[in-house]
Amino acid sequence: ARSTLLGSQVHAAAVNGDRSALHRLITDPSLRDKEDQFGRTPLMYCVLADRLDCAVILLKAGASVNKADRSKRTALHLAAQKGNVRFLKLLLSRRADWLQKDLEEMTPLHLATRHRSPKCLALLLKHMAPGEVDTQDKNKQTALHWSAFYNHPEHVKLLIKHDSNIGIPDIEGKIPLHWATHNKDPNATQTVRCILEAAPTESLLNWQDYEGRTPLHFAVADGNEAVVEVLTSYEGCSVTAYDNLFRTPLHWAALLGHAKIVHLLLERNKSGTIPSDSQGATPLHYGAQSNFADTVSVFLRHPSVRDDPDLEGRTAFMWAAGKGSDDVMSTMLNLKKDIDINMADKYGGTALHAAALSGHVSTVRLLLERGAMVDALDVMKHTPLFRACEMGHRDVILTLIKGGARVDLVDLDGHTALHWAALGGNAEVCQILMENGISPNVQDQAGRTPLQCAAYGGYISCMAVLMENRADPNIQDKEGRTALHWSCNNGYLDAVKLLLGYNAFPNHMEHNEERYTPLDYALLGEHQEVTQFMLEHGALSIAAIQDIAASTIQAVYKGYKVRKAFRERKNLLMRHEQLRRDAKVLTEMSLSHHVCVSVSERRSRVSKSEQCDNQSSVATPPATVTSPESKPSAPLGESPRGPNHRKTTGPGVKGPDGARPSPAGSSRPGSAQVPCPRGTPQATHGPVQPSRGKAPRSAHCVNPTPCITHLTPTGSSPGPSSSMEHEPQVIRPQVLERESFQRKNQAARTIQRAWRRWACHTHPASTMVHMWRRLKGALSGMEQGEGSADTTTSLLVQLLWDRPAGLFPSQKNAPPLAEHRVPLSKAAGKRNTVLQNIYGESSLIATVMSCVTKGDCSCTPAVWNAGHNDVAVLDHRRIMSPL
C-alpha cells in the first residue's frame, strides 16, 4: 500500500510539474520507472502532460526511455501520436527506438501521420534508413497508406520523396490510391493527384483490390464528383471495370442514385454499350429498383441505354414494380411509350405479380389503371392474387378482388388461393377468401385441404377461422393423412387440442404400408405432451389397431370356414342325391326297354333246355354262374360247353380241389342275360343244384348256343361302356362313377340272393315260416313298408321257383330233385296259384300270371308305366327277371 501510494505521488509530481517533490521521490531508484495500473511510467506522464522539464529530470536520474506500457507503446509513441516535436527531439537524443511496434504493430512513424503538420514525420524520417519507411503494421499498411487515408497531401509528398512505395497493397489488397479516393472531402483530389503524379500509369489507375474494386469504384461509392472527374480525366481509367460481382462504377452510381456521376460516366464511356452484372442486370435495373427517378431519367435520355431484360427475363420496369418504385414507373411510362406492361419473365411473372408479391398497393393500383392483366398466369398457373395470399397482403388482395381477380382458380398442383393463405398462416386473408366464395374443404391434387396446410405450420388462428367456417378436420388426403397427422408430427399441442375439440377422429390410418395413425407420428417425434393428450382422448397406435383387427379377423374367418364347410357338404349331398336320381331314372328306362327282349329269349332257351334235360342225368335245372373275369352264363337247364369247361358244385358241396365255393360264386337269380356274338372265346361254368344224394351233375348240351353275358340293371355290360369314347369329356367322370356304383350294387345283390338261396335250401321250413310272417305283415302295411314287402315277396317267389316239387321236404334220404320235377306247365300253374294267393285277383296280376305261364311277356310300356308305383308291378319285374 505504501509503495502504491509513493508511486502515485511520483506520477502526480510528474503530471503537476512539481520538480522539488519529483527530485525528492526519485532518490529511490525503484520509483523512477514505477508503473501505474496501465503500465505507464512517470516519463510517459510527462509526455502526456507536456512537462518537458520534469522529463529531463527523470531522464537525468536514469529513467528508461524505451519502457513500454501494457499496449507496448513507449514515450516516443506517445510523443509522435500527440505531434510533440520537442519531446521527439529529446527522446531521439536519448536513443529512443523509432522502429519499436505496439500491439497493432504500429511504429511512431505510423502515428506521426495522423497530424496535419509534417514536422514530426520529417523528424522521424531523418533518423530512418530508406527501407524502413515502408514498415507495415498489423494490417500491412505503411505510413503512406495512413497519410492517404487521412488526406494529408504534404505527408504523401514527403513519404514519396523518401522513396515510399505507392504500390504496396494492404491486407485488403488496397494501395494508397484506394484510400485517397475513398474520401468524401472534395480536397481529396490533391492527395489523388500527388499519388498519380508519382506514377500516372494505367495499372495504378485500374488497380483492383481483392474484391475487384478499382479506385473509381470507391470514388463513385462516396459520391465524390471531383475525384471521379480527376480519375476519368486520365486516359487509361476504365469506366466499365468489373468488380468480383461484375458490377461497374456505373452500376454503383445508379444504385446509389448519383445522377451527375451517372451522366459523367455515360459521357466518358467510350465503348458505347451498357455493361451488365453477373445476373444480367444493367445499371438501369439498379436505378429502377432504388426509385431514383432522376437517375433513371438520365439513363433513358441517353441514346445507348435500353431496357434490356436480365438473365431471368425481367426488365427494369419489373424491378421497379417489385420494389414499389412508383416514381420510376411513372417516369418510364412517360418517357418510353413502347413499354409492355404485361411483359412476362421466363417464369411467366409480370410486373403485377412482382408488385402483388411485395405488397405495394399503390403500385398495384397504378398497374391496374394502366391496363395490367389482373389474372395473368405464370408457369405454375399462379395469379397475382396467389402471390398476395401467400404473403398475406390484405390490402393488395382487396384491391385485386375489386379489380376483377378470380378467387376460384387453381394452380398446377390444384392449390387455390385459400391453400396459399393457409400455408402462410394468414387468418384474415382466409376469411376474406371464404367470404368471396371459396369452399374451406377444397382439395388439391394430393387431396390436402387448407386446414391441413394450416395444421402443417401450426397456425392456430388460421385453423380456428377455417373450422368456424365448417372445415372438416376428418378429410384424408390421398396418402390417408389428416390435419391431426400433421399437427402430431410437428408436436403442436394447441393445434391437436383444437382439432379434437372440433370432433377430429384420432385413429385415421395412412394408406401406405406403415398405416401410421396420428399417435404413431407423435411417438416417432417423441412429443410427450401430445402423446399423453392423444391417449387420453382414445387414440390408438397401428400396433394396437392390428391386435384388435387380428382378433376380429380370426372370428370372422372361423365363421367363414364353418359356412364354407357347410356349403361344401351340402353341395356334396345334393350331388350324390342327383346321381342317385339319375341312376334310378336310367335303371327304369333300361328295364322298360330290355324286359320284353329278355322274355322272348327266355322262351327259346327253355325249349333248348328241355332237349338238354332229356339227355341229362340231373333232374334239377342248374343256375348260371359267371366267371369273375368275363362273367358269361349259360341258359337255365343247359350245360355249358367249351374247351375250358369244368364242373362246379353248389353251396355245401366241395369242388374238385376240395375247396368249398363261396355263396357269392353262384349266379344271381333274376339277372338279365343277352346273347354275346358267336365265336367269342369265353369259359362258362355251370353250377349244379345240390341233390339230396349229393351226386355230381354233368350235362353237356349238344346243340351249341350263343354265350350269355350278365347285364347290369341298366342293361349294359358291367365294364366300361363301349360308347364311352363318344361321351363328352365333361360327363365321362360322372358316367364312370355311375357305372362303378351299379357294379358294386349288383355285386351286393348277388351276394344277398346267393345267401338267401342257400338258406332256403338248408332250412326251408323255418325260412318259409319266417318269410310268410314278414309277407303277411308287409302286405297288411304295404303303404308304410313297400320296400320290405318287395323283398319278402321276391324271396318267396324265388323259393317257389327253386322247389316246385315240395315246399317242405323233411325226409333225411329224400330222392333226387329230378324225381320230383314236374313239367314246366304244371310248375307254372303252381306258381300262378301261389302268386294269386299272395297278390290277390287283379288284372295286373293276371298279366303277371300270363307272363309266367306262357313264358312270354307282351306287356307294353303303358302297362309298366301304369303300375310304376304299384308293388305288384315291382314284383312282376322281380318274377320275370329269372325268365
The secondary structure of 552-591 as a DSSP string is HHHHHHHHHHHHHHHHHHHHHHHHHHHHHHHHHHHHHHHH
CA triplet 23, 26, 29: central angle to 5 degrees?
Answer: 155
Asked if 219 contacts 229 with a C-beta cutoff of 8 angstroms, the reply is no
Cα distance between residue 524 and residue 527, in whole Å: 8
Q: Report the predicted TM-score, pTM, of the whole model to 2 decimal places.
A: 0.59
Cα distance between residue 357 and residue 343, in whole Å: 17
What the block records as the C-alpha cell of 771 is: 318269410
Range from 40-54, 452-466, 590-604, 608-622 carrying the lowest mean pLDDT: 608-622
User: What pLDDT, on the 0 to 100 scale, is given for residue 360?
Assistant: 95
Pairing of strands 632-633, 673-675: unpaired
- Name the range with the highest mean pLDDT among 16-20, 465-469, 847-851: 465-469
| Nearby residues of 638 by Cβ (< 8 Å), 6 or more positions away | 605, 608, 609, 612, 686, 701, 705
Segment 3-38, tens digit of pLDDT: 344 457 888 888 888 888 888 888 888 888 888 888
Lookup result for grid cell 479506385: 215
Amino acid making up residue 264:
L
Predicted confidence (pLDDT) at residue 497 exceeds the cutoff of 50: yes
User: What pLDDT, on the 0 to 100 scale, is given for residue 181?
Assistant: 94
Among candidates 42, 46, 49, 38, which has minimal Cα distance to 73? 38
What the block records as the C-alpha cell of 434 is: 371464404
Asked if 875 contacts 881 with a C-beta cutoff of 8 angstroms, the reply is no
What value does the CA radius of gyration of the chain take, rounded to a whole number of Å? 67
Cα distance between residue 279 and residue 266, in whole Å: 21
Residues in the chain: 883
Cα distance between residue 611 and residue 639, in whole Å: 11
- Name the range with the highest mean pLDDT among 50-54, 503-507, 815-819: 503-507
What the block records as the C-alpha cell of 837 is: 294267393
User: What pLDDT, on the 0 to 100 scale, is given for residue 796?
Assistant: 57
Confidence category of residue 157, pLDDT binned at 50, 70, 90: very high
Pairing of strands 708-710, 632-633: antiparallel
User: What pLDDT, on the 0 to 100 scale, is given for residue 546?
Assistant: 87
Alpha helices in 69-199 (DSSP H): 75-82, 85-93, 108-112, 119-127, 143-149, 153-161, 176-181, 188-198
User: What pLDDT, on the 0 to 100 scale, is given for residue 622?
Assistant: 39
Q: Which residue has the higher pLDDT, 88 or 4?
A: 88
Cα distance between residue 753 and residue 796, in whole Å: 12
Q: Give the residue-averaged pLDDT of 301-330.
A: 92
* CA distances in angstroms from 37 to 70, 71, 171, 452, 854, listed in the order given: 9, 12, 33, 67, 162
Per-chain mean pLDDT for the chain: 77
User: What pLDDT, on the 0 to 100 scale, is given for residue 8?
Assistant: 78
Cα distance between residue 203 and residue 221, in whole Å: 21
Predicted confidence (pLDDT) at residue 668 exceeds the cutoff of 50: no
User: What pLDDT, on the 0 to 100 scale, is given for residue 757?
Assistant: 79
End-to-end, the C-alpha distance of the chain in Å comes to: 160
Segment 787-842, tens digit of pLDDT: 455 555 555 555 555 444 444 444 444 444 334 444 434 444 444 444 444 444 44
User: What pLDDT, on the 0 to 100 scale, is given for residue 766?
Assistant: 60
What the block records as the C-alpha cell of 713 is: 340293371
Confidence category of residue 225, pLDDT binned at 50, 70, 90: very high
User: What pLDDT, on the 0 to 100 scale, is given for residue 768?
Assistant: 62
Phi, psi of 127 (to 5 degrees): -90, -5
Segment 288-299, tens digit of pLDDT: 999 999 999 999
User: What pLDDT, on the 0 to 100 scale, is given for residue 857?
Assistant: 44
Q: Give the residue-averaged pLDDT of 862-876.
A: 41
Q: Which residue has the higher pLDDT, 689 or 279?
A: 279
Asked if 876 contacts 842 with a C-beta cutoff of 8 angstroms, the reply is no
Confidence category of residue 138, pLDDT binned at 50, 70, 90: very high
- Name the range with the highest mean pLDDT among 388-392, 839-843, 852-856: 388-392
Asked if 408 contacts 376 with a C-beta cutoff of 8 angstroms, the reply is no
- Name the range with the highest mean pLDDT among 191-195, 648-652, 743-747, 823-827: 191-195
Pairing of strands 708-710, 673-675: antiparallel
Cα distance between residue 664 and residue 751, in whole Å: 5
What the block records as the C-alpha cell of 786 is: 313297400
Predicted confidence (pLDDT) at residue 740 exceeds the cutoff of 50: yes
What the block records as the C-alpha cell of 490 is: 410437428
In words, the CATH class of domain 417-540 is mainly alpha
Q: Which residue has the higher pLDDT, 401 or 10?
A: 401
Q: Which residue has the higher pLDDT, 288 or 274?
A: 288
User: What pLDDT, on the 0 to 100 scale, is given for residue 825?
Assistant: 41
User: What pLDDT, on the 0 to 100 scale, is given for residue 639?
Assistant: 37
User: What pLDDT, on the 0 to 100 scale, is given for residue 797?
Assistant: 57
Q: Which residue has the higher pLDDT, 619 or 273?
A: 273
User: What pLDDT, on the 0 to 100 scale, is given for residue 863?
Assistant: 42
Confidence category of residue 759, pLDDT binned at 50, 70, 90: confident
Q: Give the residue-averaged pLDDT of 120-128.
A: 90
User: What pLDDT, on the 0 to 100 scale, is given for residue 5?
Assistant: 42
Q: Give the residue-averaged pLDDT of 506-529.
A: 94
Confidence category of residue 745, pLDDT binned at 50, 70, 90: confident
Cα distance between residue 460 and residue 492, in whole Å: 9
Range from 271-275, 453-457, 544-548 carrying the lowest mean pLDDT: 271-275
Cα distance between residue 107 and residue 76, in whole Å: 9
Cα distance between residue 799 and residue 806, in whole Å: 11
**Burial (Cβ within 10 Å: 0-12, 13-18, ≥19) of residue 574:** exposed
Predicted confidence (pLDDT) at residue 482 exceeds the cutoff of 50: yes
Q: Domain limits of the chain?
A: 417-540
In percent, the amount of the chain with pLDDT more than 90 equals 47
Asked if 102 contacts 72 with a C-beta cutoff of 8 angstroms, the reply is yes
Range from 431-440, 504-513, 631-640 carrying the lowest mean pLDDT: 631-640
Predicted confidence (pLDDT) at residue 541 exceeds the cutoff of 70: yes
| Nearby residues of 646 by Cβ (< 8 Å), 6 or more positions away | 656, 685
Among candidates 296, 226, 216, 215, which has minimal Cα distance to 255? 296
